[in-house]
Amino acid sequence: MSSALNVVQVEANRRNAQQSTGPRTEAGKKTSSLNALRHGLTARVVVLPTEDLAAYQHFSDEFLADLAPETFAERQCAQTIIDTQWRLNRVRSIEDGMLALGHFGPEGQIDPGHPEIHAALTAAAVYRTHSQAFVNLSMHEQRLYRILREASKSLEDMKTKRIAARQADLDAARAFHNLNKMQGLTREPASAGFVFTTEEIETECRRHRSLVEAKIAHDCNYDRKKFRHHLAGIP
């Protein structure tokens, strides 16, 4: 009996699914539209229906290129920075909008006979009438700034550690390369556990040599004779 009921229920569910056409009311459609605008693992709504999704994506892509994250953790942190900055920009737009609305409300009925004075008095009247709204907006802005600062510091710390670790590995690979060169060996870097290619290591060797020569030149006060003398003692 239970098996028969299950079959009936499955068939009923299948028919309901086929008949479903999604939300039909305006409220339902608006709610459904938010699903396409959710972003990230926390399903936060970053882009509102009134905002331009393409503009956000362009903003995000440019910002991401500047932040230059490489690891998954860095990309997650970078996305927090991007989304927070987007929301901060929205706060500024909201504040401008609140002031602009004053020109269409009772606050804008003042007529001092001068457009700049009218704008200043209207703004003051809006602040006075809706001071709590501006306080709330300011508190929201400060919270976003804290998130932005913390995320920026976290990203910078992660990148600094990653770059330092890579440079330490590259220095060791350079030393390994020079040892092989001295001994006349042709061992591959991978044989010693290094992930760098021979070309990368040779490039680092040339870069390191140039830095050493630049320091010697500076210490010799860029005297060519002294420079050559000191350079001769370097293998």
Residue that has been written with the tokens 């600094």 in this structure = 160
- Does the residue 149 lie in any domain? yes
Q: What is the pLDDT of residue 95?
A: 73
Terminal C-alpha separation, the chain: 90
In a domain, 227, yes or no: no
Round to whole Å and give the CA distance between 230 and 214: 12
Measured CA to CA, the distance from residue 119 to residue 96 in angstroms comes to 12
Q: Is residue 197 part of a domain?
A: no
Return all residues near 49 (Cβ < 8 A) that are at least 6 apart.
30, 33, 34, 37
Q: What is the pLDDT of residue 190?
A: 86
The answer to whether 74 touches 159, Cβ cutoff 8 Å, is: yes
pTM for this model (two decimals):
0.63
- Express each pLDDT in 17-44 by its tens digit: 444 444 555 555 454 444 444 433 333 5
**Gap between the Cα atoms of 229 and 223, Å rounded:** 10
Q: Which residue is listed with tokens 């390191």? A: 208
| CA torsion, ordered 13, 17, 23, 25, to nearest 10 deg | -70
Dist CA 221 CA 193 (whole Å): 41
- Whether 141 is covered by a domain: the verdict is yes
* Number of domains into which the chain is organized: 1
| pLDDT for 66 | 95
State percent of the chain over pLDDT 70. Answer: 63
Instruction: Identify the H or E element spanning 147.
Output: helix 131-183
Q: What pLDDT digit, counting tens, does each position of 154-166 carry?
A: 999 999 999 999 9
Q: How far is CA 29 from CA 36, 40, 49, 221, in A?
A: 12, 22, 11, 74
What pLDDT is attached to residue 49? 61
Question: What pLDDT does 37 receive?
Answer: 42
Q: For residue 95, tell me if it sits in a domain.
A: yes
Residues in the chain predicted with pLDDT less than 70, given as ranges, are 1-51, 97, 99-115, 117-124, 126-130, 235
- Predicted local confidence at residue 54, as pLDDT: 84
User: d(Cα 35, Cα 45) in Å, to the nearest integer?
Assistant: 8
Q: What single-letter DSSP state applies at residue 210?
A: H
Q: Looking at the domain assignment, is residue 44 inside a domain? A: yes
Q: How far out from the chain centre does Cα 111 lie?
A: 46
Q: Is residue 104 part of a domain?
A: yes
**114 vs 124: CA distance, rounded Å:** 15
The answer to whether position 12 is within a domain reads no
Range of the domain at 121: 36-154
Alpha-carbon span 153 to 131, nearest angstrom: 33
The partner residues of 45 in beta bridges, in order of sequence, read 38
Q: How far is CA 139 from CA 86, 99, 133, in A?
A: 17, 18, 10
